Every structure is written in C-alpha cells, then in structure tokens.
C-alpha cells in the first residue's frame, strides 16, 4: 500500500492575505458610512409622520367630543411648548423634542405663539392649518372650517 506524502508549502495554504482582509474592511467602512446617515434620516421621517398622525387623531377626538357632548371644544396649540391641549378635559398631546409646530398661514416671526381651534357641536370648526417640522421635512395638518374634517397633507 502506497502512502501519499503531503507537504505544505506557501502555495498550498488556503486562506486570506492581509491585503485581501484590508480591502474588505475598507469596503465595509465605506458602505456603513453611506448607510448610517440615510437610516437616521428615515427614522426622523417616521417620527414626523407618527407625530402628524397622533396630532390629527387628537384633533379628531376633540371634534368628536364636541359633537357627542353637543358643546364647543377648544383645542389650544402652543408652538413654544410644542403641545396641543384641551382645557375643558385636561387632555393634551406633547410633540416629540425634535419636532416643532408652526402656523403656515401666519407670520413665522413669532415662534412662541398660541392658536386656538374651536370645534362646534355641529362638527364645524374655526379651521386652520398647522405645520409639524423636523429638519428639512414637514407635514401639514389642515382643519376644514365648514366640516371640521382633519386631514394630513
């Protein structure tokens, strides 16, 4: 029976060289450098959309409360505190810290302003528009004066 003699030399070894590993590391760092900022921007966008949906839901709840209780409900929007508040019930919604609120129909010279939207028993309202802003993105919430309908644009 013949026995094969196996010898190992530099040509027979399998594995990666240091240069190959460094190239892979450089490519991985380049991909991560590009991907992380995009990921954080998408998280900010999700937070903004979530805040817009929750703010609109708060306004719709206030409108429904006015209709159900057959009386007016006033929602105070405080841009400085980033808060929506109903004094009669004590309900409030505080926007996340990275999101601000403004009133696009009015002058932006006064960032710490308060506006009140009044929902009537018949479902109508005083109407208005507010903008939720985060970095360079914004979501508009419109309250129709005739129907009291709250929509996100």
pLDDT at residue 44, as a whole number: 85
User: What does DSSP assign to residue 5?
Assistant: P
Q: Give the pLDDT band of residue 122 (cuts 50, 70, 90).
A: very high
The residues that bridge with 2 in the sheet, in sequence order, are none
pLDDT at residue 43, as a whole number: 85
Question: What number is the average pLDDT over the span 77-89?
Answer: 92
Long-range contact pairs involving 45-49 (C-beta distance under 8 Å, separation at least 24): 45/134, 45/137, 47/96, 47/98, 47/99, 47/134, 48/99, 48/132, 48/134, 48/137, 48/138, 48/139, 49/139
Return the CATH number of 18-152, one of 3.55.40.10, 3.20.20.70, 3.40.50.410, 2.60.120.560.
3.55.40.10
Cα separation, 7 vs 62, whole angstroms: 83
| pTM listed for this prediction | 0.75
Question: What is the token pair recorded at 70?
Answer: 């057959």
Whether residue 35 has pLDDT greater than 90: no
pLDDT at residue 133, as a whole number: 93
Question: What is the token pair recorded at 28?
Answer: 């991985």
Q: Give the pLDDT band of residue 60 (cuts 50, 70, 90).
A: very high
Phi, psi angle pair for 62, to nearest 5°: -65, -40
The string of pLDDT tens digits covering residues 12-21 is 567 788 899 9
Cβ-proximal residues to 129 (8 Å cutoff; 6+ apart), any chain? 103, 104, 105, 140, 141, 142, 143
Q: Give the pLDDT band of residue 91 (cuts 50, 70, 90).
A: very high
Whether residue 140 has pLDDT greater than 70: yes
Whether residue 23 has pLDDT greater than 90: yes
Domain assignments of the chain as residue spans, ordered by start: 18-152
Lowest mean pLDDT among 24-33, 35-44, 114-123, 127-136: 35-44
- Strand blocks (E) in the chain: 73-78, 83-86, 92-94, 100-102, 114-119, 128-134, 137-143, 150-152
């Amino acid at each position: 029976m013949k026995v094969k003699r196996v010898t190992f030399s530099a040509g027979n070894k399998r594995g990666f060289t240091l240069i190959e590993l460094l190239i892979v590391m450089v490519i991985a760092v380049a991909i991560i450098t590009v991907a992380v900022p995009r990921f954080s921007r998408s998280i900010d966008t999700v937070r903004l959309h979530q805040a817009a949906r929750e703010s609109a839901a708060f306004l719709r709840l206030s409108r429904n409360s006015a209709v159900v209780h057959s009386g007016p409900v006033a929602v105070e929007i405080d841009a400085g505190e980033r808060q929506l508040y109903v004094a009669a019930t004590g309900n409030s919604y505080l926007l996340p810290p990275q999101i601000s609120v403004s009133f696009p129909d009015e002058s932006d010279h006064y960032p710490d302003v308060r506006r009140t939207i009044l929902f009537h028993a018949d479902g109508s309202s005083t109407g208005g528009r507010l903008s939720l802003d985060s970095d360079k993105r914004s979501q508009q919430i419109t309250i129709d004066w005739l129907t009291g309908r709250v929509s996100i644009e």
